[in-house]
Chain A
Amino acid sequence: MAHIPDPHLSDPMVPVLARVTNRVEEIPGVVTFEINAPQWQGFAPGQFNMLSLFGVGEIPISISGPSFDSTTIIHTIRDVGAVSGAMATLEPGAMLGMRGPYGTAWPVEQARGRDVVVVAGGLGLAPVRPILYHLITNRANFGRVTLLYGARSPDEILFRNELSKWRAQLDMSVEVTVDHADATWRGHVGVVTTLFKGADFDPAKTTAFVCGPEIMMRFGANALTDAGVAPEDIHLSMERNMQCAIGLCGHCQIGPFFVCKDGPVFNWAQMKPLMAIKEL
């Protein structure tokens, strides 16, 4: 199994001061930051950091850059509220608190020699991007690679340039759909599960990674099991409100699991029974 880094901190609850070194507005309200932090030694795809702004608050954010770059930390943040909104305004040079990396990783190496299907919806493309970098860099180790991505509208497609580049690479299949569009859009329109019909993979030898809003992951995982992929081979990244991020406070609990410590990456065999319980 691949090594999953622990927090690079002497005290996992005390953030270090990190500096924003670059900022790119991907689409309105979504910003990708490059950050430099002392003591950082890299992460595994799927892990997250706790980012904080003093006097505003602290939030969990997945790492969206390549895991082979152990010096730069990349985060893609959508402005949805107080903390993320304040973070989205940061400019290069700004300082923020950071602790991490935390959580389990996408089991990318378990997919060696198998077909890989990555299903992402909306901002869910950010937490799976490290998987795609890994697959592309180690392309020969995997069977057919398929990315199925759903966005709300053409204006809200994330990482558009990279999607085009990956599609042009010819050794992976990249399909994009939007929920609705105007007449200028020539691509696919419909929910992300409608892309499964044209996808080419051997369900018995497929590992799938699914990330997006919880309902989308539920329908995506069900569509994959309908196609014959085993629940244990379908992995998803869960989101819950977090505070400690080290399994102490219980804020992020889903059934018997703490999302911060036992997750955020779980397989569908673990999550399906829990997602069926409405109150969780």
Chain B
Amino acid sequence: MSVKGLEKIVAAHSLFAGLGGGFLELVAGCARNVRFEAGQYLFHEGEIASEIYLIREGSVALEISAPGQGCMTFMSAGPDDVVGLSWIVPPYHWTFDTRAQEDTRAISLDAICLRTKCDADPALGYEVMKRFAPTIVARLHSTRLQLLDLYGTHS
């Protein structure tokens, strides 16, 4: 797909909505379309977090496995969600597995490409961080609520 086509798709995702033309071009320069079949893993825990996924269609399950307990899905992500925050902080490793729950289409952003551009242009870096921060905070809030086990019999 052309860079212009990718720019349009990136701009349509709420994470980058309203991003200025110059920045949008830089971000879209790291983007490509990807597709996963139901059951296919996008990545596994421990691997290098080299990509950020902007989900367009379908849904994915973020999973953690515990010995003796099997795999537990702690979050799902669907259209207009973002998967991939581990690329922001060293050592840039995934801390969970992610599996497509159904056929899923996404934009993959090359994390090394984006990080390099952010390092080279702090204004872009700040803009990108401002856009990721609400997702990070929302995930933290959700985790806190899940930890409270609100619907358990003791609550």
Residue B25 is within 8 A (CB to CB) of chain A in the complex? no
Residues of B within 8 A of A179 (CB): 146, 149-151
Instruction: Flag if A190 contacts B151 (CB, 8 Å).
Output: no
Instruction: Flag if A215 contacts B148 (CB, 8 Å).
Output: yes
Instruction: Assess A180 versus B146: contact at CB under 8 Å? Given A122-B151, A190-B76, A198-B78.
Output: yes
Instruction: Assess A213 versus B155: contact at CB under 8 Å? Given A152-B149, A186-B102, A219-B145.
Output: yes
Residues of B within 8 A of A188 (CB): 59, 76, 78
- C-alpha gap A127/B72 in the complex (Å): 30
Instruction: Assess A183 versus B151: contact at CB under 8 Å? Given A191-B142, A191-B145, A194-B142.
Output: no
Closest CB in chain A relative to B143 CB, distance in Å: 9
Residue A182 is within 8 A (CB to CB) of chain B in the complex? yes
Which of A79, A121, A194 is within 8 Å of B150, CB to CB?
Answer: A121
Residues of A within 8 A of B153 (CB): 29, 78-80
Instruction: Flag if A180 contacts B74 (CB, 8 Å).
Output: yes
Residue A34 is within 8 A (CB to CB) of chain B in the complex? no
Residue B152 is within 8 A (CB to CB) of chain A in the complex? yes
Residues of A within 8 A of B74 (CB): 180, 189
Q: Which chain B residue lies CB-closest to A123?
A: B151
Instruction: Flag if B61 contacts A189 (CB, 8 Å).
Output: yes
Chain B residues 125 to 155 lying within 8 A of chain A, measured CB to CB, are: 138, 141-142, 145-146, 148-153, 155
Instruction: Flag if A122 contacts B78 (CB, 8 Å).
Output: no
- C-alpha gap A180/B73 in the complex (Å): 6
Residues of A within 8 A of B148 (CB): 215
Which of A185, A194, A198, A213 is within 8 Å of B151, CB to CB?
Answer: A213
| Chain A residues with a Cβ closer than 8 Å to the other chain, count | 32
A-B contact count (CB 8 A): 81
Instruction: Flag if A215 contacts B145 (CB, 8 Å).
Output: yes
Residues of B within 8 A of A183 (CB): 61, 63, 70-71, 73, 99
- C-alpha gap A156/B153 in the complex (Å): 11
Instruction: Flag if A121 contacts B151 (CB, 8 Å).
Output: yes
Residues of B within 8 A of A151 (CB): 151
Q: Which chain A residue lies CB-closest to B144?
A: A191
Instruction: Assess A190 versus B80: contact at CB under 8 Å? Given A80-B153, A151-B151.
Output: no
Q: Which chain A residue lies CB-closest to B155?
A: A213
- C-alpha gap A78/B154 in the complex (Å): 12
Residue B3 is within 8 A (CB to CB) of chain A in the complex? no
Residues of A within 8 A of B70 (CB): 182-183
Instruction: Flag if A185 contacts B73 (CB, 8 Å).
Output: yes
> Which of B63, B79, B80 has most chain A Cβ within 10 Å?
B63
Chain A residues 190 to 205 lying within 8 A of chain B, measured CB to CB, are: 190-191, 193-194, 197-198
Instruction: Assess A191 versus B71: contact at CB under 8 Å? Given A198-B78, A213-B155.
Output: no
- C-alpha gap A183/B39 in the complex (Å): 10
Instruction: Flag if B72 contacts A180 (CB, 8 Å).
Output: yes
Chain B residues 42 to 68 lying within 8 A of chain A, measured CB to CB, are: 59, 61-63
Residue A212 is within 8 A (CB to CB) of chain B in the complex? yes
Residues of B within 8 A of A273 (CB): none
Residue B104 is within 8 A (CB to CB) of chain A in the complex? no
User: What are 11 inter-chain pairs, A to B, with CB distance below 8 A?
Assistant: A122-B150, A152-B150, A179-B149, A181-B61, A183-B71, A186-B102, A189-B62, A189-B73, A190-B75, A193-B145, A194-B142
